[in-house]
């Protein structure tokens, strides 16, 4: 069973077509990068995935649940780290996690177990009593990842998670998330506009003007298209005269 299936997804803001017949799937334990220039439709896709917007055409399945037919079950399989942090800066690391566990309706015992496990997994155990305000950007992101994984989702979605981090923290975060895929079998959908956050054996989807213009493993795409990732990306996302999805 795939961790994520996006099937024939289209979405329009009034007359403005933002996504056109987008389909792809993501296998369990895969790190997938979603790339696209500004206006490509990434935010729209994420808004549909997280159910900020209702689906118009097509469907999204997370695990074996359809977002259209069983939205609650589908969303339970999804952990999200949004671009804008929503942590409470004046609560401690642990308090932020416990608050989220309460929102998920976890029992006291489950909360203790899950908070402990995620603090350890994100190497945050020693910082559990620090206020989030005192943490650097990279550690704050780890708290958000811990929070997104508390309910043990199958798929972790990170929307431009490395924005605002210095280069070393950016790399460390990217490596850390990759280790979650390798060690825990979690699937990751990582949206970015930075090509250096993508590796040869990643799954890659490139969106351009609302259409999926490439999907597959990075090294296979490069081999098929020639050049390097930068030139493949530039070729596939060249602006057209209309600037809009057909």
Looking at beta carbons only, is 38 or 84 nearer to ligand ADP?
Answer: 38
Residue placing its CB nearer to ligand ADP in the complex, 118 or 160: 160
Q: Which stretch binds ligand ADP (CB under 6 A): 13-21, 84-92, 122-130, 234-242?
A: 13-21
Give φ, ψ of 175 to 5 degrees: -65, -40
Could you give the CA distance from residue 225 to residue 113 in angstroms, rounded to a whole number?
Answer: 48
Q: Which candidate, 121, 126, 160, places its Cα nearest to that of 142? A: 121
Q: What's the closest the beta carbon of residue 181 comes to ligand ADP, in angstroms? A: 23
The Cα–Cα gap between 19 and 111 comes to 39
CA atoms within 13 Å, Cβ hemisphere of 160 = 13
Encoding tokens for residue 176? 């850390």
In the complex, what is the shortest distance from the CB of residue 226 to ligand ADP, in angstroms, rounded to a whole number? 25
- Whole-angstrom CA distances from 148 to 3, 97, 143, 158, 167 are 16, 9, 9, 10, 23
Closer of 16 and 235 to ligand ADP (Cβ): 16
237 binds ligand ADP (CB under 6 A): no
- d(CA 68, CA 157) in angstroms, rounded, equals 19
Which member of 1, 13, 15, 241 binds ligand ADP (CB under 6 A)?
13
According to the binding rule CB under 6 A, does residue 52 interact with ligand ADP?
no
* Residue 58 vs 63, nearer CB to ligand ADP: 58
User: H/E element holding 36?
Assistant: none
Nearest distance, CB of residue 84 and ligand ADP, angstroms: 13
Sketch the per residue contact string, 23 through 42, with ligand ADP: x for CB under 6 A, - otherwise: -------------x-xxxxx
192 is a site residue for ligand ADP (CB under 6 A): no
Residues of this chain that bind ligand ADP (CB under 6 A): 13, 16, 18, 36, 38-44
């Amino acid at each position: 069973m795939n961790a994520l299936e996006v099937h024939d997804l289209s979405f329009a803001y009034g007359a403005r077509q933002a996504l056109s017949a987008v389909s792809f799937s993501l296998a369990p334990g895969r790190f997938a990068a979603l790339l696209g220039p500004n206006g490509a439709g990434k935010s729209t896709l994420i808004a549909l995935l997280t159910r900020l917007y209702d689906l118009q055409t097509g469907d999204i399945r997370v695990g074996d649940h359809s977002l259209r037919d069983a939205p609650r079950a589908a969303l339970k399989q999804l952990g999200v780290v949004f671009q804008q942090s929503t942590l409470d800066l004046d609560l401690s690391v642990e308090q932020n996690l416990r608050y989220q566990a309460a929102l998920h309706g976890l029992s006291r015992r489950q909360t203790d177990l899950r908070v402990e496990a995620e603090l350890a997994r994100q190497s945050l155990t020693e910082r559990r009593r620090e206020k989030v305000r005192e943490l650097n950007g990279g550690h704050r992101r780890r708290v958000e990842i811990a929070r997104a994984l508390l309910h043990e989702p199958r798929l972790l979605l990170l929307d431009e998670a490395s924005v605002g981090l210095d280069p070393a923290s950016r790399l460390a975060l990217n490596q850390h998330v990759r280790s979650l895929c390798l060690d825990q079998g979690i699937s990751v959908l990582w949206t970015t506009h930075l090509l250096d956050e993508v590796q040869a054996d990643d799954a890659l989807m490139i969106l351009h003007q609302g259409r999926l213009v490439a999907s597959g493993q990075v090294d296979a795409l490069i081999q098929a298209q020639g050049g390097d990732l930068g030139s493949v990306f530039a070729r596939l996302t060249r602006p057209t005269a209309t600037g809009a999805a057909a």
